[in-house]
Chain A
Amino acid sequence: MKNSLKLFIAMMGFGILSSCKDFLEVKPDQKLVIPSTLNDLQAINDAGTNNLYPAGMDNASDDFYLAESNFNAVSDLDAKNMYKYDAFAISDFDWQYQYKMIFDANVVLSLIDDIKLNGNSEADRQQVRGAVFFKRAHALFNLLVQYALAYDTQHKDLPAIPLRLNATLTEKIERKTLSEGFNQVEKDLKDAVQLLPEKALVLTRPSKVAALGLLSRVYLYKNDYQASLNAATEALNFQNELIDYNNMNAAAANPFSLFNKETLFYGISSGRGGLLNPTIAWVSPALYNTYQIDDLRKKVFYKTVNGGFTFKGDYSGKSFGQLFHGIGTDELYLNKAECEARLDKVPDAIQTITQLLVKRYANGKYVAPLTTIPKEQLVTYLLSERRKELAFRGMLRWMDFKRLKDDVNNRFEMKRVIGGDIFTIQPEDLKTAFLFPTLVVNLSGISQNNR
């Protein structure tokens, strides 16, 4: 009352409305939290977006298949279309969730310079900033792999997806080229590497290692092996721990705990569509049969049910059909080995893969390739090991499918059989770039992906 009276007098005295700026910026509802401190921004970063990673690319993965009756029982029409490689498959939610993560990141970035530190340090501010760069890059990369064609010289200057770099809701959006998209991803990740601490407090927060790991994944997708190798190597210098599957209880329903020690960054898919639900998603025999008898993963990852196999070895620590979408050290070993092989460092590659696989095979049973193995053969071997290790790992099957488009020895098509019908997809198909949500096309006027 006193304040308002004072203000009243002040206003009357000077007749200047601008003096009431503070008066007019009082929060209308105390329960509304208008982000004002670094802790608020940190809380945005810690929100449940770790479970909003895209499900569409997993729905399209040939690691699994659905029995015809189970396919028919699925209610989500879009998920079914993704499953059978329909050219008009649309995933609204993947788009919405990834751009939500980008938007949240942009909101944090728009506020971070003016925010009150309230007992936090400048270093804390840099960490939050770094985390936001990581999250934005991660979502953007997911979108580029899902909604744009594979990265190559022919595609890189074609319009891909819109880039959102600020928090203004009224911005006019337009499609940027594939290379502009990747430039942004790389820039954000390089910034994140600079800003983030080696290790984060919890694994749902990104760290320098996670950023390097993601960078390695991004470069690998672009077939930039040297850069991918550098990033993987640097990451592994910080953190190279592997779980020795020999010490695991293979019979456990959920063999991997939450935040297991190979996890560098934790995230899971939204599971939209429910196709990956272990009650209906059977492991593709083509995948299951590649595991050798001494391969511990055969038992750790899979469970036999009614004559089929289901996946239980998810690094998410649970198996509800929301696949692990984070980054693990195992992936980095595989990235590193493949890049080494492709860069003619065959012995290095063999050494790298051996470090991983001795922990996956029964003690003493792993037999590494001989160093005399031709490079091409080694790459093929490493890719088959990659598939076995990274089975049911969020988006990676789809990413490999697209990036191997021009690798004549290793490219593959994916195939579905539903009843008597066969549906296939080739990595150069236009339909490897998912359609944009109709609402987006209608509201923004951007052109739809070609069909």
Chain B
Amino acid sequence: MRKFYYQLTFMMLICIHSLRAQESVSGQIKDDLTQQTLIGATVRNLTLHTTTSTNKEGLFSIAIKTALDTLLFSAIGYQEQKLTVANFLKINHVLSLQPINMELREVVVSTGYQKLSQKNLTGAFTQIDTTLLERSSSPDFLTRIDGISNAVNFDRRRGNDQKFSIRGISTLTENATAPLIILDDFPYQGDLRNINPDEIASITLLKDAAAAAIWGVGAANGVLVISTKKGKLKQPLQITYHAAFNSTTPPNLYQNPQMSNVDFLNFEEQLFNLGYFNSTLNNTRNRPVVSPYVEQLAKFRSGLMTQQQLADAKQTFMNEDVRADFEQYVYQPAQSTLHSLSFTGGTSKSAHTLNLGYTGKQNNLIGNGGQKLNVHSENTYQPFKFMKVDLGVFYTHSEEKLDAEGGYGSMISGGGKNNLYPYAALADGNGSPLAIPKDARFGYIDTAGSGKLLDWKYRPLAEAALNNHHIKSNAVILKVGAQFKILPSLNVDAKYQYENGNSQDQLIYAKNSYYVRNLVNRYSTMNGNTVVRNIPYGAIKDQTLSGYVATSGRLQFNYDHTFAIKHHLNMIAGAEIRTYVNQSQSYRYYGFDEDILTSTAVDYKTSFPIYGVLSSNSTILNKDNNEKTTSHNVSLFSALYYTYAGKYTFSSSLRRDANNLFGATTNNKWQPLWSAGFSWNVSDENFYPKTFPSTRLRMSYGYTGNVNGNVTAYTILTYRQAAIGSTSLTGLPNANITGLPNPDLKWESTGILNIGLELNGKGNPWSLSIDVYHKNSQDLIGLIPADPTLGGTTAVLANTAVLASKGIDLSLNYPIRRSKIWGWDVNFLYSFNRNEVKKYLYTPTFFSSYIGDGAIINPILGQAAYNMGSYTWQGLDAQGNPMVFINGQSSKDYASANTNLALRDIHFGGSALPTHFGAIRNDFNWKRLALSVNVSYQLGYYYRRPSINYSSLASAWNGHPDYANRWQNPGDELKTNVPSFIYPLNSTRDQVYSFSDLLVEPADHVRLKDIRLSYTMKSFPHFKNSSIFLIGTDLGLIWKASHYPTDPEYSATLAPSKTISIGFKTNIQ
């Protein structure tokens, strides 16, 4: 109220002043976005050539001659604006300047509950604005945030591009590590790829307790808030069009060297002669797959071919390279086209925005691709000063086509083989598809059924055309919000959101597809000379329909008031309710006819004999399944910001959640998650030298939670098949207690201490922000040894484990040069994050379960969550046998390697995820040309390089070129560490080598993430800020610590190839 009077008085003064003298005009300058007053803005009277600047309240007064004088308003970081005095008077003496550079202007961050000015923040926030998001033209926003923000790290070791963390992990449960994603106001439940990056105005990362604790039990893994673009009041219609075309070259299949064909064929020959394949070749039950060369060797041994024929066959195989076939027939360049059109504008009482987005793509596997349509509209109506209504709609339609049989490494032979032999030929010289062995060996399927069965060959290249797999999905979000000003300082906000997503996953195997032919043959029986088919010979259709509905409602009171000029208080309090229901149903039709939509009933009850006794009698696979999960959440929350004299800010938040996953004990306890923070604008103190950079200190402490859905509070039963059989003697329904009741089950909670320092240069607008944090994640769900007396089991999951992490986030923006002609800005991002399991009560029976490659969380006391436990390598002995520590001794007692391994025998190699990471970006501009180069780095972690594993080579065709370096003759142990080949094969011997610390490599590397070149065109009438750009992404490694060829970031998959994008963007007014 006081402020209001103050303003009113001021307005009156201006008027009086103007009326009486006419020799000067006064007014105020504000930031258009935040409506904060601008201090030190310049006002020039171009007619009188006089200049003044605004004071602490953003006020100025300047001499004028007449109302026709032209005034020029400018401020660093804002677009200057010219106005005649008359026009300035028309806008009531208050002018809002448009910010031009996000880094300079007052940043407003959104927590999803409130918008906060960066000037008073106590917590650790990172804001990613449109300029940064538009550096990339990738169709999904997650890829775009990689490398442009600190604290964010992507785990792509297994090719998953959606797995990321903010400040590392805060749990020990692998599938509970995902950060919380907020779309505008509420948690987003849909597919992250459905969000059109062009409709995002900014992304805010909430990293510490003061920032994230307002999200309570969902916030421990960090919160990512997406704010979408909104129209503004009194804004003329603006149309933005953005188009881009991305093209990615097919993956380089030669990036990881492959065992040579000669070695592979000789190895098979050697095994054959040793009799390794005898039992397989004599197997008349399931007829396991053998390679074509082994088939030839078997033929030769039975006298069915000559020595010369065998040698010719071997020569043919030697010249084949399956990778060449993959390159020619399986892969294509991945391409995507993006179009995005947005309309935004507003009248004095309403504001609107409409975004339309279209993405069309083909994937790098021939037969895969898709398209996506986004419609997003936001509307604000302000019929009265005290009332505002928001209406928003998101709609996404996407279609994905997945006909391909799989790429290199995922197209496999089956029948015991999880790979392909390196000399497989997928097509003949004319490009016609060739058969490769699958599920059962050639020698069998060639003759089985003496011509009465269906063709049993698998020709992978022919299959893509016979599969019809597509996923169609629709998602819609409807948002309604209303805000009422009850008192000048108090308003109430009600929001409701309805989110619904549906998807239909449909896979039709054509009648003549291998899948159908194989299944029909297996379920065929010979009745004399006729074939009885227990599965109808026709197409098979698998369908999964899934959908979710999420509803959220919130009532929130916002209070914002300044007392006695120096005391500013901002408070929110409210309640929220959320529901999320996810349902799916799947089913299969046999004998499906696509034309007339009929199917044939099959007998699911009878256990049919499988043709040729390839396996024991089996029932026909029934894919009927229904799933439903429900999450209910109720929360109360409040947050308070108190600022004294613009210098000291104290913040606190309090949130209490109740959830249908937690136990009654937890829901009934009044145990909120809270945070407290403090910030100090040091440079505003009188003692602070004015020439020094402006300085802010922040400090916060508080708790965030994590909901771990793997455990429930209730006694859980699992019903078992109620048929008389091995599990039930009576056929009565019977159920086991599979989940022990845990009424004390609660969320996992993470206490975070964060200390931050922000420095901003004066004159030269550089900025530096450093945050140091310590996280203590406690009550984590972990295994604990259980007294079997209590529940009949020896280990249970309970809130017991502790994980501690510490880290640093640093970001530095330094303009090396900014002039009218050219500029050079450097942006440096650095994050450090390291964790350690501080408490874990369960130890396994055998320590060998501590050996691993850090692919998933393996909680071990005193180690990182993603650790790399290895056998301690002791070299090769004189016969080429690998030696490792077993029970303190250098040993080759492989039989006891698993049972006798002591904890001290294991060498823990450190973290399997980066502990130091970040990026260095250089932005150059020269006139209208801009060049941005981003180099990212990931340091301080390890990966396990692959090497030869003879058992795996023999049984699954997993070869490795280290085979050529194996120990072969006495004395080789001095030259090589690759164990000798021995027969019979010993898989534990292979394992101690494969999982020894010898093969642990530093994964440190520096990568040329992307280069962006853009040209901004001269403004044409109606066309402003038009630009064209060219982007190169994933341009390759610049440096890596290990000299082995694997790209460490993609250690268990193929590294992506270069992507080249071109695009165009314009604003139409």
Contacts and interface: CB of A to CB of B under 8 A. Distances in A.
Pairing of A with B? yes
Interface in A1-29: 1, 4-5, 7-8, 11-12, 15, 17, 20, 23-29
Contacts of A15: 575
Contact of A48 (B629, B728, B786, B789): B728
Interface in B682-739: 709, 712, 714-720, 727-730, 732-737, 739
A440 B734 contact: no
B768 to A, nearest CB: 45
Given A4-B579, A100-B791, A20 B658 contact: yes
Nearest to A12: B555
B780 to A, nearest CB: 18
Interface stretch (A39-47, A278-286, A294-302, A367-375): A39-47
A48 B788 contact: no
Listed residue (B577, B712, B790, B791) with the most chain A CB atoms within 10 angstroms of its CB: B790
Contact of B794 (A7, A162, A202, A439): A439
A202 B667 contact: no
B712 A32 contact: yes
B136 to A, nearest CB: 37
Contacts of A62: none
B634 A46 contact: no
Contact of A47 (B551, B626, B736): B736
Given A5-B551, A169-B742, A100 B636 contact: no
Contacts of A107: 715, 737, 741
A28 B719 contact: no
Interface string A149-173: 0000000000000101001011101
A307 to B, nearest CB: 33
Contact of B792 (A26, A99, A111): A99
B632 A23 contact: yes
A48 B659 CA distance: 34
A265 to B, nearest CB: 13
A123 to B, nearest CB: 18
B796 interface: yes
A101 interface: yes
A92 B735 CA distance: 24
Contact of B788 (A20, A34, A111, A440): A440
B741 A30 contact: no
A30 B630 contact: yes
Nearest to A32: B716
A177 B716 CA distance: 33
Listed residue (B628, B733, B785, B787) with the most chain A CB atoms within 10 angstroms of its CB: B787
Interface residues of B, number: 60
A49 B723 CA distance: 17
Given A26-B630, A34-B714, A48-B734, A258 B787 contact: no
A392 to B, nearest CB: 20
B478 to A, nearest CB: 11
Contacts of B720: 47-48
B661 A28 contact: yes
A171 B737 contact: no
B479 to A, nearest CB: 14
Contact of B551 (A1, A24, A443): A1
Contacts of B628: 29-31
Contacts of B1069: none
Nearest to A31: B627
B734 A47 contact: yes
A188 B549 CA distance: 49
Nearest to B668: A18
B220 to A, nearest CB: 19
Given A1-B498, A7-B577, A35-B717, A96 B793 contact: yes
A43 B575 CA distance: 41
B898 to A, nearest CB: 14
Contacts of A7: 577
B66 interface: no
Contact of A169 (B551, B661, B727, B741): B741
Nearest to B792: A100
B519 to A, nearest CB: 27
Listed residue (A8, A95, A162) with the most chain B CB atoms within 10 angstroms of its CB: A8
Nearest to A202: B730
Contacts of A50: 729
Interface in B650-691: 658-662, 664, 667
B715 A34 contact: yes
A171 B728 CA distance: 32
B715 A48 contact: no
Nearest to B735: A43
A24 B549 CA distance: 17
A245 interface: no
B987 interface: no
A104 B737 contact: yes
Given A20-B634, A169-B740, A40 B788 contact: no
A26 B791 contact: no
B631 interface: yes
B634 A23 contact: yes
Interface in B93-120: none
A100 B788 CA distance: 8
B793 A100 contact: yes
Contacts of A104: 737, 792
B910 interface: no
B553 interface: yes
A344 to B, nearest CB: 42
Contacts of A309: none
Interface string A405-432: 0000000000000000000000000000
A444 B661 CA distance: 29
Nearest to A167: B741
A291 interface: no
A48 B730 CA distance: 10
Contacts of A95: 788-789
A134 interface: no
Contact of B577 (A11, A201, A266): A11
Listed residue (A1, A28, A31, A201) with the most chain B CB atoms within 10 angstroms of its CB: A28
B736 A1 contact: no
Contact of A40 (B496, B662, B712, B735): B735
B718 A97 contact: no
B155 to A, nearest CB: 27
A50 B790 CA distance: 20
B717 A40 contact: yes
Given A96-B794, A101-B792, A23 B660 contact: yes
Interface string A115-156: 000000000000000000000000000000000000000000
B788 to A, nearest CB: 4
A111 B739 CA distance: 15
Interface in B743-791: 744, 785-791
Listed residue (A42, A96, A258) with the most chain B CB atoms within 10 angstroms of its CB: A96
Contact of A33 (B496, B631, B661, B719): B719
A437 interface: yes
Interface in A260-302: 266
B532 to A, nearest CB: 34
A440 to B, nearest CB: 5
A171 B790 CA distance: 7
B965 to A, nearest CB: 39
Contacts of B658: 17, 20, 24
Contact of B634 (A11, A102, A164): A11
Nearest to B658: A24
Contacts of B718: 33
A43 B729 contact: no
A204 interface: yes
Contacts of B712: 28-29, 32
Q: Which 5 A-B pairs have the closest CB atoms?
A: A100-B792, A30-B628, A43-B735, A96-B788, A33-B717
Given A44-B737, A259-B729, 4 more contacts: A25-B664, A29-B629, A32-B717, A202-B729
12 contacts: A11-B577, A43-B734, A46-B733, A48-B720, A48-B728, A50-B729, A95-B788, A96-B793, A101-B792, A164-B790, A201-B732, A444-B787
